[in-house]
Copies of this chain bind each other. A is one copy, B any other.
Amino acid sequence: MITRKEQQNARRRAAEMLRAADVRITDAEADGIEVVDFGLGRLEKEGGQVLTLVQTERISVKVLALFPNQTEPEHWHPPVAGDPGKEETVRVISGTLYFYLPGENTYKEGFLVKGKEHCYSMRHEIVMRPGEQITLAPGVKHWFQARDEGVVMYSFSTIARDALDQFTDKDIVRTTKVVEK
């Protein structure tokens, strides 16, 4: 749960980050940036800001902004009826992205969210810089993080069904509740 004011502030900050990263977006798009707290109510620690540029029945294009030291919780994209699940290519636009997925434990430069260490089980670390990208097959568990400068990145994928994403942290609710206050 976040307040309307938190949502508006986060949206404005994210739009500024996108524009500072030279991503050309319209004012209407900036106003439509989704602020996601994963139902955890501590956006600055675990959350993300998402602008959806394309969403059809076949593909999805999003631009994500992560604030400094913000972490997107570990999740995966399961198969659903008639679809093997979301395949996703993540490409960094600005900042440094700390990305974690299955494989040898090379965890070194990121940090585990305090009190939630058990919800971040993937420890194969990839450090990605602008122009670098990685493609994830459906079902691959992953989480990612920004450090001091924040990150702006693309997510190019097959159809996104965000509400069906699976999370390691069972406290997570994908729909963010916004309260007037």
Q: How many copies does the complex hold?
A: 2
Q: Which residues of chain A from 21 to 68 have any CB-CB distance to chain B below 8 Å in the complex?
A: 22, 24-26, 29, 53-54, 56, 58-59, 61
User: Bound complex: CA of A110 vs CA of B74, how far in Å?
Assistant: 49
* A22–B22 CB distance below 8 A: yes
Q: Which residues of chain A from 46 to 100 have any CB-CB distance to chain B below 8 Å in the complex?
A: 53-54, 56, 58-59, 61, 87, 89, 91, 93-94
Interface string of A11-27 (1 = CB under 8 A from B): 00000000000101110
How many chain A residues touch the partner (CB < 8 A)?
24
* B56–A87 CB distance below 8 A: yes
11 cross-chain CB contacts under 8 A = A24-B94, A26-B132, A53-B133, A53-B156, A54-B133, A54-B135, A54-B156, A56-B87, A59-B59, A59-B87, A61-B89
